[in-house]
Amino acid sequence: MSAKKKIKQSVAIVTLGCKVNQYESASFVSGFEELGLAVVSVKEEADVCVVNTCAVTGKAGAQSRQLIRKVLRDHPKARVVVTGCYAQIASQEIVELAGRPICIVGNGYKHLLVDIALAEQHCDLEMYMGDISRQRQISELPVRRFAERTRAYLKVQDGCNRFCSYCIVPYARGRCRSLAPDKVLAQVETFVAEGYRELVVTGIHTGAYGQDLEPAVTLLDLLGSVANRFPGLRYRLSSLEPMEISDEMLAFIAATDCMMPHLHIPLQSGDDGVLKRMNRRYTGRQFGDIVNRCVERIPGAAMGVDVLVGFPGETEEAFRNTYDLLESLPVTYLHVFPYSSRPGTVAASMADQLPKQVKEERVALLRQLDHKKRTAFYLSQVGTVQRVLAENARNRLRRMRGFSENYLPVHFKAPAELANQVVPVRIDRVEDGSVFGSLVE
């Protein structure tokens, strides 16, 4: 498909969902800009509007529908292209709510989205879908730049083979597919040329990287290659499954200066019965052992944890098992989500769905624990000197803000020209949940 004759001048792109979606939208931006289009805010008039949707929860699906309606209403003359996970699993619903010409691009065709959006001829309804479960090659989506100039996402993998009972992602993203190491290195080289200082290595199931390649490689192999070739960057890992965090991985992170001491691990539940119904493949005790081993091998590391509250059949005792486990562990912060029924998943048809009020009460308790854990970690860093990647002063405190290697969000006084530089900052105090420091001369 070709877009040789460009009749469109501007494009607006709106994105819901995960780091992978954000990476893919950045690829669309790069593609449109290379063809001479201006990328504008969705609040401005645009010839093309791209909506990159999410479907990870029922709420995310509802937000996707709401956003599609808003874009259709606010841009009556624009060519509207809908893509992403909600487009993949609910294309008929999108057709029904549109009521006007629309283009739907499934996840397996995202690499063609720019050309599809700019095609000279199109009809009232265009659908580029296919059976995502049969997709065996990752869509190559190179990115030139992100809106944020200091940190970029590096997508190395797509799809998931795990089929957790609450999760729609394997149906929306297909099976595990990895980007070849040479393509990953080429993307890193582009980011280096664009001046990025930190990359967040991400995927739908990042820890499964390379298992589908021939010959097979591992995520650790890839990280070794990237760190060896581009040691001047900082690398931060996105979510890894608990049982994928090996002693070799921990030793590598601890021994490699450019690997950030920060891990994010999904727990979802600390109750073994709930974990089994979720089709998670570990126990609460195993998870606890892994977290303790991480902190032991990488002193000072930040440990983030995902928790899913209110899964069908989660009793008060089961919730208490989750709370007690997390309270006992040296975790840094929690991402807490209420269970949201996602049609098409096994869990959606399970008995003993919990009332909304019960879920909200349990979420509130874990978010209080999150605040307690964050504050304790922040206070433990007071008096230390951290290497902070300075970003900008566009925040309510109007001070330079940046992240330390162990993911402390630090505010400090600094001239604007220090943005996008790694600088030494002494952690001075924690106040109202914010961390304050001072430049070390």
Residues 161 and 81 in one domain: no
Residue at 244 is within a domain: no
- CB-hemisphere CA count at 13 Å for 427? 25
DSSP 228-242: HH-TTSEEEE----G
Q: How far apart are CA 334 and CA 366, in angstroms?
A: 8
CATH number of the CATH domain containing 339: 3.30.750.200
DSSP 112-166: GHHHHHH-S---SEEEE---GGG--SPPP------SSSSEEEEEEEE--S---TT
Please state, in angstroms and as integers, the Cα–Cα distance from residue 99 to each residue in 20, 93, 95, following that order.
30, 11, 7
Residue at 420 is within a domain: yes
Which tokens is 281 given?
Answer: 């493949």
Q: How far apart are CA 325 and CA 289, in angstroms?
A: 11
In the prediction, which pLDDT does 394 show?
84
Q: How far apart are CA 118 and CA 38, in angstroms?
A: 13
State the residue range of the domain holding 60.
10-130
CATH number of the CATH domain containing 61: 3.40.50.12160
Find tokens 């960057």 and name the residue: 233
**The domain boundary residue, chosen from 350, 380, 410:** 380
Residue at 186 is within a domain: yes
**The domain boundary residue, chosen from 106, 130, 154:** 130
Partners of residue 82 on adjacent β-strands: 51, 104
In the prediction, which pLDDT does 38 show?
94
Which tokens is 108 given?
Answer: 């397996």
Helix (H) or strand (E) holding 31: helix 19-34
- Nearest Cα to Cα of residue 23 among 113, 150, 110, 153: 153
Residues 298 and 213 in one domain: no
Residues 225 and 199 in one domain: yes
Which tokens is 117 given?
Answer: 């959006």
Residues 51 and 144 in one domain: no
Residue range 61-118, pLDDT digits in tens? 999 999 999 999 999 999 999 999 999 999 999 999 998 889 999 999 999 999 999 9
**The domain boundary residue, chosen from 130, 163, 185:** 130
In the prediction, which pLDDT does 1 show?
43
pTM comes to 0.91
Contact status, residue 294 vs residue 301, Cβ threshold 8 Å: yes
In the prediction, which pLDDT does 426 show?
98
Instruction: Give the chain's domain count.
Output: 4
Counting as low any pLDDT under 50, the low residues of the chain are: 1-6
- Residue 259 DSSP one-character state: B
CATH number of the CATH domain containing 204: 3.30.750.210
Q: How far apart are CA 79 and CA 98, in angstroms?
A: 12
